[in-house]
Amino acid sequence: MTNSALRKWSWVHKWSSLVSTVFLLMLCITGLPLIFHHEIDDLLHEHAQPVAVSPGTPSANLDGIMEKVHQRYPGKAIQFLAWDDDEPGVLLWFINDRVDSDPQTNRIARYDANTGAFLDEPDFNGRFTTILYRLHTDMFAGLSGKLFLGLMGAFFVAAIISGIVVYAPFMRKLKFGEIRQSRARPVRWLDWHNFLGIIVVAWMLVVGGTGILNTWADLVVKIWQYTQLTEMLGDGKDKPAPTKLASIEDAVKLARGKLPDMEPQTLAFPGTIFAGPAHYVVFFKGNTPVTSRLLKPVVIDAETGAFTDTRDMPWYVTALLISKPLHFGDYGGMPLKIIWAILDLVTIIILITGLYLWIARRRVPAGQALEDGASYSIAERVPT
């Protein structure tokens, strides 16, 4: 590589890092406990448990439970019904003032799927994990916050790629994993920064890249609504909201018949962002580690209860759904979560040493070993 090319890559590495470091530190710090959000929530908050039943026990009639939900929340609208991924036997009912209210303000009522009994309505607002989650996803700034963090993620990816390029000239006289322990701190930290950075490159790229994808989730849903959902609804997209809803028990049963190898995951009620004005959409998930992350929608007429359509999700929705576990690290049991947490800590070390090296470099008079333009040659100057 020529000196001028190297200078350009160093410039990219320096500035993409400087622009994003503060936000990446925030993301790493808030993301660390979020890896264990399930365990933390269990520890900090009481949950009513569903009655234990032997496998194969038939679930309670969904229409009957919905009746109870309406009795408990008179005048309110149900937006979604979800089968809890983490806790089988628990149904989550998402309740709001109107069917088209902002889903972010939903209240969530938990019901026992087998007995149909009300369990509790946990208040997720103000929870430690909820605050961390909001900071981590949008810094309480909605879509613009998400897209901003996505941009910071893009800078992070640029910093990683330029880091890979400038790694080679630094290592010209050093062996892999060599730390010049007897040298001054800037040299030692430089060695650690380079070594740790290069060994966790794949993980950082995957978590950074999938993090960027996740910031586009709202937009992906919008695109899906305007394209595939509209196509599946056909003429039904202009149908007025039915005055009386068809049985959801029958709707789910009918949809199950279409996808016998899959399990229902969410039912979106008519008028919500995931359904039509007069149609239910039941989202099914598969039952293998990969397919349980993927969804397939079944559209059912909410007035007549008739089957309307089912299709595979478009590739961009599938990409988004697959990117989620790869970002959260919640798909390989507790050991993977712990590895995820340590890799997160290593990333924090890389960010801090990088920032330190920039500061240390500025302190050293120009032309000395650590000055930016000459920084790549430090490895050559140092006797090994």
Compute the distance between CA of residue 320 and CA of residue 214 in angstroms, rounded to an integer. 7
> Looking at 38-46, 70-78, 117-125, 335-343, which segment touches another protein (CB under 8 A)?
335-343
Q: How far does Cα 235 stand from its chain's mean position? A: 34
Q: Torsion angle of alpha carbons 325, 299, 85, 121, nearest 10°? A: 120
Q: Report the DSSP pairing between strands 295-301 and 307-310.
A: antiparallel
342 touches another protein by CB under 8 A: yes
In whole angstroms, how far apart are CA 283 and each of 146, 219, 300, 304?
25, 19, 11, 19
Query: Within positions 75 to 134, which residues make up the interface with another protein, using CB under 8 A?
Result: none
> Looking at 63-71, 147-155, 198-206, 302-310, which segment touches another protein (CB under 8 A)?
198-206
| Cβ–Cβ < 8 Å for 305, 246 | yes
Q: Helix axis angle, 142-170 relative to 217-224, nearest 10°?
A: 120
Compute the distance between CA of residue 355 and CA of residue 339 in angstroms, rounded to an integer. 24
68 touches another protein by CB under 8 A: no
Please state the closest distance from residue 311 (CB atom) to another protein, in A.
23
Among 181, 240, 260, 363, binds another protein (CB under 8 A): 181
> Looking at 71-79, 96-104, 173-181, 369-377, which segment touches another protein (CB under 8 A)?
173-181
In whole angstroms, how far apart are CA 21 and each of 12, 169, 198, 255, 364?
14, 23, 17, 48, 22
Among 23, 331, 356, 358, binds another protein (CB under 8 A): 331
| Closer to another protein by Cβ: residue 187 or 275 | 187
203 touches another protein by CB under 8 A: yes
71 touches another protein by CB under 8 A: no
Please state the closest distance from residue 100 (CB atom) to another protein, in A.
35
Please state the closest distance from residue 288 (CB atom) to another protein, in A.
7
Query: Within positions 282 to 301, which residues make up the interface with another protein, using CB under 8 A?
Result: 288-290, 293
Compute the distance between CA of residue 46 and CA of residue 218 in angstroms, rounded to an integer. 31
| Closer to another protein by Cβ: residue 219 or 346 | 346
Please state the closest distance from residue 198 (CB atom) to another protein, in A.
4
Residue with tokens 């000395």: 368
| Closer to another protein by Cβ: residue 205 or 221 | 205
CA-closest candidate to residue 352, choices 202, 200, 196: 196
Residue with tokens 């576990």: 325
315 touches another protein by CB under 8 A: no
List of residues contacting another protein (CB under 8 A): 167-168, 171-172, 175-182, 195-196, 198-203, 206, 288-290, 293, 322, 325-326, 331-333, 335-336, 339, 342-343, 346
